[in-house]
Amino acid sequence: MTSTPQAGNLDAEVVIIGAGAVGLAVAQRLARDGRSVLVVERHEGMARETSSHNSGVVHASIYYPTGSLKHRLCWAGNPRIYEWAEAHAVPVRRTGKIIVALSEGERGGLDEVYQQALANDVRGVERITGARARELEPHIPTIEAIWSPSTGVVDNYALARSYEAEAVAHGALIAYRHEVTSITRVPGGFEVALRDADGVASTLRCAALVNSAGHRAADVAAMLAYPLDGGTHENIEVPVMRQRANAGRYYDIVDPAAARLVTRPVYPLPEHQAGGLGVHLTVDTDGGVHLGPSTEWIAEDDAMDYRHVETPEWRAKFLEGGRRFLPGLRDDQIAPGQVGYRPKIQRPDQGLVDFLVWHDRGYVHLGGIESPGLTSSLPLADEVAAALR
């Protein structure tokens, strides 16, 4: 990095803001293409935010509107995550998952999900009887289910670490403890102002800029004066970029006797309007079992607190939700787990909103990269590479 950039001198061809799983997937892709890449990340290491606070499910692309980016990129990403993980020694398990109807009234909802899964060409998806579902998960009182054999779980942190290693091996540089504070368009690219963790300011110059800043993607777009609620900027149509955070808290099933009762992700019917897929049971690559995530819109000025501050109401809600799956689950078998935050373009009164991949003269915006962003990380990187071609 230089503090006084010379016109025409680039510090890197492409600067990527954010070293989450997606920013690092983009970094390795562009570095492998032979581009000079610099990733700027305000934290002291990678994947400190959403990329390490999620369910780690390798989604099969069941729920998303057919043809949407979420559908296409998740569908393409699913087999690629397994291939990548196996090639890079990232823990991954092809567990499959079941989406269950637990009462007669839920059969109709199951049908809707199944039709969407068929329309989305989900690999191997099947509608199965309660008896067959109970062969797979004998302790869940399932009436009828959808079986998705291509769903699995991956170690989210190890995945991001493998992208980082691959990016660095192909020449990418990563500036941790540096925050992007302002951006100016200059002839031939961008001038990016940084502040390091000790408060020291510097500037760098690049030809292209990838905004993979997760929850701060809109703040970064605002540095370039894009109207966040959509509109026109320098005669260019700009989409809605404003985001809101939606919290997802988890409880862990800490008693091995209860955790052993579940071997794969088990989901109820989705709650898209609430902003998520409904409190479900997930397993991780170490065999841990978790309940969650919840869906809670947080106020626009509330900070994202990664501590799980427990309340009796939430404990009671999770216990009740958990007992729908495991009727014998006891209060002393669960403990507060992690909290993650979904970066959403979706408003509380809206249905599902797609990922935003938008580009304008060397600037690529990745907005609303909530679930299934981890599963879609490699195809998202391809989208960025195509936008910069």
Ligand X SMILES: Cc1cc2nc3c(=O)[nH]c(=O)nc-3n(C[C@H](O)[C@H](O)[C@H](O)COP(=O)(O)OP(=O)(O)OC[C@H]3O[C@@H](n4cnc5c(N)ncnc54)[C@H](O)[C@@H]3O)c2cc1C
Choice from 321, 336, 372, 379 touching ligand X (CB under 6 A): 372
Nearer to ligand X among residue 98 and residue 374 (C-beta) = 374
Nearer to ligand X among residue 74 and residue 140 (C-beta) = 74
Q: Is 379 in the site for ligand X (CB under 6 A)?
A: no
Strand partners, 251: 291, 336
CA-to-CA distance for 363 and 361, rounded, in angstroms?
6
Q: How far is the CB of 99 from ligand X (least distance, A)?
A: 14
CA-to-CA distance for 344 and 347, rounded, in angstroms?
7
Nearer to ligand X among residue 144 and residue 265 (C-beta) = 265
Q: Is 369 in the site for ligand X (CB under 6 A)?
A: yes
Nearer to ligand X among residue 243 and residue 371 (C-beta) = 371
Q: Is 148 in the site for ligand X (CB under 6 A)?
A: no
Size of the site for ligand X (CB under 6 A): 41
Binding mask 32-71 for ligand X (x = CB under 6 A): --------xxxx---xxxxx--xxxx-x------------
Cβ within 8 Å of residue 386, ≥6 positions away: none
CA-to-CA distance for 388 and 164, rounded, in angstroms?
20
Q: Distance between terminal CA atoms of the chain?
A: 25
Judged by phi (left if over 0) then psi (alpha if -120 to 50, else beta), residue 270 lies in: beta
Q: Is 90 in the site for ligand X (CB under 6 A)?
A: no
Question: Inter-axis angle of helices 156-169 and 69-87, to 10 degrees?
Answer: 80
| Range in contact with ligand X (rule: CB under 6 A) among 201-209, 214-222, 306-314, 345-353 | 214-222
Q: Is 275 in the site for ligand X (CB under 6 A)?
A: no
Q: How far is the CB of 63 from ligand X (least distance, A)?
A: 12
| Range in contact with ligand X (rule: CB under 6 A) among 119-127, 132-140, 323-331, 334-342 | 334-342
- Minimal CB distance to ligand X: which residue? 373
Question: Inter-axis angle of helices 377-387 and 69-87, to 10 degrees?
Answer: 110
Contact 169, 156 (CB under 8 A): no
Q: How far is the CB of 180 from ligand X (least distance, A)?
A: 4
Question: Inter-axis angle of helices 21-32 and 377-387, to 10 degrees?
Answer: 50
Choice from 152, 189, 214, 278 touching ligand X (CB under 6 A): 214
Q: Is 23 in the site for ligand X (CB under 6 A)?
A: yes
Closest CA relative to residue 374, chosen from 82, 117, 95, 150: 82
What residues numbered 165-184 form the site for ligand X, per CB under 6 A?
Answer: 179-180
Q: Is 321 in the site for ligand X (CB under 6 A)?
A: no
CA-to-CA distance for 380 and 70, rounded, in angstroms?
10
Dmax (CA) for the chain in angstroms is 70
Q: Is 72 in the site for ligand X (CB under 6 A)?
A: no
Choice from 5, 189, 270, 293 touching ligand X (CB under 6 A): 293
Amino acid at 330: R
Question: Could you tell me the CA-to-CA distances from 135 to 139, 146, 269 in Å, in that order?
Answer: 9, 13, 20
Nearer to ligand X among residue 11 and residue 144 (C-beta) = 11
CA-to-CA distance for 249 and 307, rounded, in angstroms?
10
Q: Is 122 in the site for ligand X (CB under 6 A)?
A: no
Q: Is 284 in the site for ligand X (CB under 6 A)?
A: no
Closest CA relative to residue 3, chosen from 194, 184, 183, 185: 194
Q: How far is the CB of 300 from ligand X (least distance, A)?
A: 17
- List of residues contacting ligand X (CB under 6 A): 17-23, 40-43, 47-51, 54-57, 59, 179-180, 212-216, 220, 248, 293, 340-342, 369-375
